[in-house]
Amino acid sequence: MDQRELWDAFYRGNPRAWRGNSGIPVPCSGRALDVGCGNGKTVSSLLDAGFRVAGIDFSPAAVGKCAELFPDAEFFVSDASELPFPGGSFDYVTAVHVLENLEDGKLEKAAGEMERVLAPGGYIFVRCFTPDDMRSGARRDGFFYRYFGADGICALFPSMEVVSSERKDEPTRFGTVRSRAECLFRKPLRSRGSF
């Protein structure tokens, strides 16, 4: 099975795999895009914050479930490396636990696409598991995973202003650690070198 088939089967079998909302920063208002919307945890947070929301995922099962759960948002089946929107369409783009699943070749394209669809002055928020996360090194049943520190995330967005870049570790009751890198970027109002 390829990655799309694996994730589609996962969402068909686990329509509410992750519960609750994603705790995300709210640096602005307007139109938001959730890249890799999954079952809608981040979409829910964006709607609660008052954004007009679009979500994309390459899993038709995930998109279908999100469309049922969140009728006030728009959803599209799309690969993160080929976003179906004109440049500058969004004020805020989120990618929560998505970049970990992108194979080489798609990772840099997805980062470039996120920046392309972002309006000048807009924000991108990225959250990824770090190499020290309890999930690192675990068997993944064919799912592709990689792990990032904040520096690795920042390297994907070299033309963006770094608003914040941090690592968050949370011990679990089982003696393991949930470890995430979180970065918030702002797109400059002008490209560097312009007047």
Least confident of 9-13, 76-80, 167-171: 9-13
pLDDT of amino acid 172 = 87
pLDDT of amino acid 136 = 81
pLDDT of amino acid 17 = 57
Does residue 97 carry a pLDDT above 60? Answer: yes
pLDDT tens digits for 28-49? 999 999 999 988 999 999 999 9
Domain map of the chain by residue range? 3-13+29-186
From the options 3.90.550.10, 3.40.50.620, 3.40.50.150, 3.40.30.10, give the CATH code of 3-13+29-186.
3.40.50.150
Least confident of 2-16, 45-59, 102-116, 147-161: 2-16
Is 133 or 93 the better-scoring residue by pLDDT?
Answer: 93
Overall average pLDDT of the 121-140 stretch? 87
pLDDT of amino acid 194 = 47
pLDDT of amino acid 19 = 56
pLDDT of amino acid 105 = 86
Does residue 157 carry a pLDDT above 60? Answer: yes
Does residue 83 carry a pLDDT above 60? Answer: yes
3 state SS for the chain: CCHHHHHHHHHHHCCCCCCCCCCCCCCCCCEEEEECCCCCHHHHHHHHCCCEEEEEECCHHHHHHHHHHCCCCEEEECCCCCCCCCCCCEEEEEEECCHHHCCCCCHHHHHHHHHHCEEEEEEEEEEEECCCCCCCCCCCCCCCCCCCCHHHHHHCCCCCEEEEEEEEEEECCCCCEEEEEEEEEECCCCCCCCC
pLDDT band at 15 (very low <50, low <70, confident <90, very high): low
